[in-house]
Amino acid sequence: MSGNFLALAQPGVQQLSPYVPGKPVDELARELNLDPSKIVKLASNENPLGPSPKVLAAIREELAELTRYPDGNGFALKSLLADKCRVELNQVTLGNGSNDILELVGRAYLAPGLNAVFSEHAFAVYPIVTQAVGADARVIPAKDWGHDLPAMLAAIDAQTRVVFIANPNNPTGTWFDEQALNEFLQDVPEHVLVVLDEAYIEYAEGSDLPDGLDFLAAYPNLLVSRTFSKAYGLASLRVGYGLSTPPVSAVFDPGLPRSPPPCPAPWAPR
């Protein structure tokens, strides 16, 4: 028996183009007959220095436990992240890399008839996640290769459920300051979840660069996503996390207590 299983997939999935990550060193070496030790890989923004020796030692200590299923709730890691990030345990969501956090947001909040807003030249996963669930993508032209936050705000309407913003932005390296972020968050309607992607925050310096965690208490519709894949040199472990208010976190964790969601308030363009 055979069938056209692509045609049976959701329309958004049918039209997806695969995300093309950086090519592994071994694959490139085979393809071009090169010595792998002579290749310097820059395509995936991985930390060339590798992980901390303390991380390697901790991994070695756990090797004997590979036969056991891990704690699916990730209690130990959540506890450490909660302490480090100055939040409560029930504000932490773990993901298979921060990509997984972005996908969870798409599955939970987007659907046909709804839309997500994000910037031109932003992370490739934003349009992939949006299209996969059949939602509309509102791609806002970049300003000086970065986010045009006022234009993104103007694109929000009653059908918008998610805004993706990256600071610093991948792949352009641009960023916006604390005042710009605060002004943006103040004007985003309450029915819209703002995903602040800070996958590269540890690479950045400067007193004007905002820390998304400083805004969580003031904005209940904010989710900050981060990862251990970049600066911490742990890309192959695929560990990312999201930080949000408990009602948002509970959406992604069925084990957390929930309360009935409020009906979105009527909203009109500003």
* Per-residue pLDDT at 265: 43
Range 123-138 average pLDDT: 94
Range 60-89 average pLDDT: 93
The answer to whether residue 19 sits within a structural domain is no
The answer to whether residue 3 sits within a structural domain is no
Q: What range does the domain containing 219 cover?
A: 72-252
Q: How far apart are CA 143 and CA 120, in angstroms?
A: 9
- Average confidence score pLDDT of the chain: 88
Of 43-47, 113-117, 215-219, which gets the smallest average pLDDT? 43-47
Place of tokens 């310097």: 40
* Per-residue pLDDT at 158: 97
Whole-structure pTM value = 0.85
Pairing mode, if any, of strands 193-197 and 222-227?
Answer: parallel
The answer to whether residue 127 sits within a structural domain is yes
- Amino acid sitting at position 179: Q
Range 72-101 average pLDDT: 94
Contact between 242 and 85 under an 8 Å Cβ cutoff? The reply is no
The answer to whether residue 9 sits within a structural domain is no
Range 147-152 average pLDDT: 97
Of 12-21, 126-135, 177-186, which gets the smallest average pLDDT? 12-21
The answer to whether residue 97 sits within a structural domain is yes
Q: How far apart are CA 55 and CA 228, in angstroms?
A: 11
Of 5-9, 63-67, 265-269, which gets the smallest average pLDDT? 265-269
Confidence grade of residue 217 (pLDDT, cut at 50, 70, 90): very high
Q: What is the CATH number of the domain that holds 241?
A: 3.40.640.10
Range 229-243 average pLDDT: 93
Range 13-39 average pLDDT: 81
List b or e across 192-226, with b for residues whose CB sees 16 or more CB atoms inside 10 angstroms. Answer: bbbbbbbbbbeeeeeeebbebbebbeebebbbbbb
Q: How far apart are CA 199 and CA 226, in angstroms?
A: 5
Asked if residue 267 has pLDDT above 70, the reply is no
- Amino acid sitting at position 245: T
The answer to whether residue 265 sits within a structural domain is no
The answer to whether residue 10 sits within a structural domain is no
Q: Directed axis angle between helix 98-109 and helix 125-132, to 10°?
A: 30
Question: What's the number of domains the chain is made of?
Answer: 1
Contact between 51 and 232 under an 8 Å Cβ cutoff? The reply is yes
The answer to whether residue 48 sits within a structural domain is no
